[in-house]
Chain A
Amino acid sequence: MDLDPEGLFRDDSDSESEFYREKDSTKEFVVYLVDASPKMFGAARSDEDEKPETHFHAAINCISQSLMAQIIGRSYDEVAVCFFNTKEKKNLQDLNGVYVFNVMDRECLDRPTARLIKELSYVEDRFMSNIGSRYGIVSGSRENSLYNALWVAQALLRKGSAKSVSKRILLFTNEDDPFGSITGATKTDMIRMTLQRAKDTQDLGISIELLPLSWPDEEFNVSIFYAELLGLEGDDISQFLPSAGEILEDMTDQLRKRMFKKRKVKTIRFSIANDICIEVNTYALIRPTSPGQIMWLDSVTNLPLKTERSFICADTGALVQEPHTYFHPYKNEIIKFSMDELSKIKNISDGQLHLLGFKPLDCLKDYHNLRPSTFIFPTDEEIVGSTRIFIALHRSMLRFQRFALAFYGSLYHPQLVALVAQDEITSSSGQVEPPGMHMIYLPYSDDIRHVEELHMAVDANAPRATDDQIKKASALSRRIDLKDFSVCQFANPALQRHYGILQALALGEDEMPEIKDETLPDEEGLSR
């Protein structure tokens, strides 16, 4: 049962579930492989009066945030957290220098639980005493902690078929030259072994992604070793941007963004003219997050209940099979529709996006909106040349400040859409707005209401503000100007509260957490 209790998060209009629920065909298994060498615990920022921030802390921070998002959103994905370059060892293979972090009631690779998130966020406090940090690759020893770590991670990801599950290893480290401390044949040998290990892992369908942390004065050099391990070549290396940055927060931000795996909604054809068709992927970058499913339980046993539907004829009270015919009264008659007919009526289009033409941006009014937008980005996978045509159009649209009007023949919502070209915007914390086009769903005349006409002043002009009054209003707006306002700077207080309560109850805590509502205006600030 998919119910929203008490309409808690439902708004005035009901929403179409197909649109809001992202198709999640693939589950994801992720192993977070975190370097725990002493270098990771070095102060990444040397503020004298503040507690030094470490790269290790940044990594844990990112992982915690990501797990938090996961437990809310895609709770069927499974994760494992694994440290390497540790003093203690804990892994099925009994390899040195690798510690698989876990909590009770949970397998090593499993869905994140409230306890995992909570204990992980405290792991630093007692890391040194419980797990310990040391360099795993040192001269004079044949130990290879990186090799071991990859092996353990690969073993953790053994379950599930690579076809139905996407498997990833996310490697956090600030050491761009892991074999720098050793020399000679041992070094060549160990590098060769490690690379082979990585290749074997990748051959099994597991992708390895590197999340490098750099020092303010010393950029992570991916070409020393990791380029080869990741299989980067030529251009790729120069494109691989190490998350450099003066500020650790920016770096955390970049890492957090990079940890997301892009999930597309679908691939659609975009027909530009009769015979020119390109392909684009659509992404749901902005969708309201709902508080998740609820289910009915038996309050005595706390076990889930099974819901059964039965259909009853309103006229005779007879129990009937689920009907496949629908009806609507029309002209004093009853018009019946079969399921087939219904789908035909609704389906007047082919699922493609058809370009109709272009309009200046100011033709897109503030009231031309119905639902959250969808992002589109070209793909050359099926139709070669898609990206090229898309880029050319994108550039022209930006140049002439036009948006494209198109007809999107989606099955559920055949609709006119505006395609607004967005230029890439970057900041010190990486990409802020990706390059591409945003598809904005336009209303039809049926959807627009002329409410303002309800209260027309009859036989008199509506009062307007005088220039003087406008000037005063301008002064007011200058006084309460939010200079650095960025969209989505607020957390949803209702969701935060919801999950705060659930987390507390899931962990058996008595105290209900206090959640600060950041959305309340700063009354003190305003009165100034």
Chain B
Amino acid sequence: MARNKEAVVLLLDVGPSMHSVLSEVESVCSMLVQKKLIFGKSDEVGVVLLGTDDTCNELQKEVGGYEHIVVLRNISVVDGNAVDFLQNLPRGNFRGDFIDAIVVGIDLLIKKFGPTNKGKQRICLMTDARYPIKAPYEGTKEDQVNTISQMMQTHGIRLDCIVIREKLPEADLRVMEENDNLLDQFSRKAIAKIVHVDSSTSLLGALKTRNISPVTVFRGDLELSSTMKIKVWVYKKTSEEKFPTLKKYSDKAPSSDKFATYEVKVDYEYKSMEDPDKVVPPEQRIRGYRYGPQVVPISSAEWEAVKFKPEKGVKLLGFTDASNILRHYYMKDVYIFVPEPGNKKAIVAVSAIARAMKDMNKSAILRCVWRQGQGNVVIGVLRPNISSVDNIPDSFYFNVLPFVEDVREFQFPSFSSFPSSWQPNEQQQEAADNLVKMLDLAPSSKEVLQPDYTPNPVLEKKKSSKRAWRGKPSTFSEKEEGVDGEASDIQSSNLMKDSSNINVEKIGNLNPVQDFEAMMARRDSSKWVSKAIKDMQNHVSDLLENSYDGDAYSKAIECLVALRKGCILEQEPKEFNRYLLGLYEKWKDTDLANFFELLSSKSLTLISQKEASDSNVTEEEAKNFPVKTELKF
């Protein structure tokens, strides 16, 4: 347990430019603590805020400066209070200095641990790094970063920095560039990782909630031949994070017992078939191996003598074209082969082979026996992993391939052999083509739902994270609404209709609802959603303003319904609520007032929290709209 113990200081920017994302920061940080409560109960967490109105930190008292930085919670073992703290972060009105904050964080860690606990201390900074940092008293900002990096290195402190920038309206690009450079300097000079995210979904995945001290699967030679060997260490690269194992509960302990474990132990007894009361002692038991209908008894000693005992070692069998190994043959979670740390020869050798493999598009086939005494061998494929970071060496990924016994060669009919009634016609094929093109999750290299940034909803079990994997998908499935359920020709033609307006850029008068939906669905830039909402609002206002004796009401309602749905899907309830209330305020005392009666009769109302978590309208309030309108936004 203690080996995995970790101390984290969260440095959270609560300055004005961060306000729009703070609720996400709150939920992701409290999630971090909640996970620690489950997985790492002895981990320690501290919280430091920057950009606050007040100042409260020891450095300020000791040496002055360090303004607008508050130590919200000293480093201590995780508990429920920490969650509460993080769920109610104060909003600050000042521009925080993230370099100052890092120093405060380091100070906290050094004071708490001194020279101990190296390598298990982490500072996690979340900021938009949008404002310039103060110039140091002496030297340049770069020098300052160097000094701090040096300090972090001596004390074995890591830095994880998440730079959150959703939209960049009036940001000073020059300042941000300078800040980014400073942060990057950390990653060169200290053990630091800088991640840029542009959506709250990625934020969830970017924060490493758990730090597992990895264990090597193998340390030794990668044998290219009997004479050519490279020293490597092998780790797991992916491994499924499981729901924590629950213990069976016993209520037998008296309630006064403070040290009760409430655990249940399980005992196994082996009894003879003929005499159910007779317990057979362990030394009289022998293993039986099934072979067809027969059961073959073999004692452990006999088995030990005859069983397969390969020598430990990782041997290269050869190289082959990467296309020879289809992706679906990967059998397991992934291993990574890194060159022996500090061994320059190994690092260069791995680099040379990895880069050669990459250039020639080759994979290598290995035979691995990870440890002596292992009863089986593994055949697998080695793939190059060219490092994109200057101070991380090149490495290999490895996955296990099946043996002949592991493959079932079922035969399936060719698609071309199916009757023509099962074949898509030209139009349907075109619809499918459009669908594939349209539902692009990686438009112009901005990939969404990357595994690396998508957390497991079961492990999170939080509403916020549920949105993480739902967020994108639901928007487009909505777009194809109205498609008939029967899976035949009609669907495809509907898909066609939908896909024909991929590139809608404004809302026209002819099909405002369709235009709106098409715009909301555009994924080539985030601006389309806000533009669609804006345009739709204008469109509805125009309709109402030009309406004579209610002739445009039904059209306006149609549009409002679409707008409302879109705002729920895109989690923009406030946009809609603000607009609807605005409409009401503007026209409640005019002859358009009856429009609002019509709205309530159609139960078209504000978006409640139940429908979109970001809304601050309760279900009750929504129901009462427009009767009670003293809601303020």
Contacts and interface: CB of A to CB of B under 8 A. Distances in A.
A345 B461 contact: yes
29 contacts: A257-B410, A258-B411, A262-B411, A275-B484, A284-B408, A286-B331, A288-B402, A307-B270, A309-B266, A313-B263, A314-B264, A325-B251, A330-B38, A367-B397, A387-B422, A391-B415, A391-B424, A430-B411, A436-B412, A445-B456, A448-B452, A453-B191, A460-B391, A470-B352, A470-B355, A489-B404, A492-B377, A493-B310, A494-B376
| Residue from B240, B362, B365 with most neighbouring chain A CB atoms (10 Å) | B240
Contacts of A271: 477
Interface in B294-309: 294-300, 303, 306-308
Given A367-B334, A452-B387, A494-B376, A356 B294 contact: no
Contacts of A515: 308
A326 B247 contact: yes
B367 interface: yes
Contacts of B299: 299
B415 A435 contact: yes
A283 interface: yes
Nearest to B210: A446
Given A446-B209, A478-B319, A523-B226, 8 more contacts: A311-B265, A330-B38, A331-B79, A359-B442, A367-B334, A455-B341, A473-B353, A491-B404
Interface stretch (A29-37, A49-57, A369-377): A369-377
Contacts of A320: 250, 252, 264
Rank and list the top 4 A-B pairs by shortest CB-CB distance, nearest first: A465-B352, A438-B328, A385-B487, A392-B432
B85 interface: no
B241 A447 contact: yes
Interface string B430-448: 0111011101111000010
Contacts of A310: 266-267, 269
B405 interface: yes
B469 A407 contact: yes
Contact of A495 (B262, B405, B410): B405
B333 A446 contact: no
A426 B360 CA distance: 26
B114 interface: no
A297 B273 CA distance: 10
Nearest to A444: B456
Nearest to B273: A303
A104 interface: no
Nearest to A331: B80
B582 interface: no
A289 B273 contact: no
Contacts of B267: 309-312
A463 B450 CA distance: 29
| Residue from A337, A430, A457 with most neighbouring chain B CB atoms (10 Å) | A457
B401 A332 contact: no
A323 B250 contact: yes
B35 to A, nearest CB: 9
Contacts of A354: 473
B333 A371 contact: yes
Contacts of B292: 71, 75, 111-114, 506
B266 A311 contact: yes
Interface string A478-505: 1011110111111111110111011101
Contacts of B10: none
Nearest to B209: A446
A372 B247 contact: no
Contacts of B385: 366-367, 452
Interface stretch (B17-25, B280-288, B573-581): B280-288
Contacts of A204: none
Contacts of A278: 487
Given A328-B246, A391-B415, A5 B235 contact: no
A260 interface: yes
Interface stretch (B343-351, B528-536, B609-617, B625-633): B343-351
A465 B344 CA distance: 10
Contact of B437 (A308, A400, A517): A400
Contact of B272 (A75, A284, A298, A314): A298
A295 B257 contact: no
B412 A445 contact: no
Interface in A499-528: 499, 501-503, 505-506, 512, 515, 517, 519-521, 523, 526-527
Nearest to A512: B306
B493 to A, nearest CB: 12
B553 to A, nearest CB: 28
Interface in A375-426: 375, 377, 380, 383-389, 391-397, 399-400, 402, 405, 407, 414, 416, 420, 422, 424
Contacts of B437: 400
| Residue from B264, B284, B359 with most neighbouring chain A CB atoms (10 Å) | B264
Interface string A349-371: 00000111111100110111111
B214 interface: yes
B271 A414 contact: no
Contact of B406 (A8, A273, A288, A494): A288
Contact of B285 (A114, A305, A399, A487): A305
A258 B479 CA distance: 44
Contacts of B423: 388, 391
A473 B483 contact: no
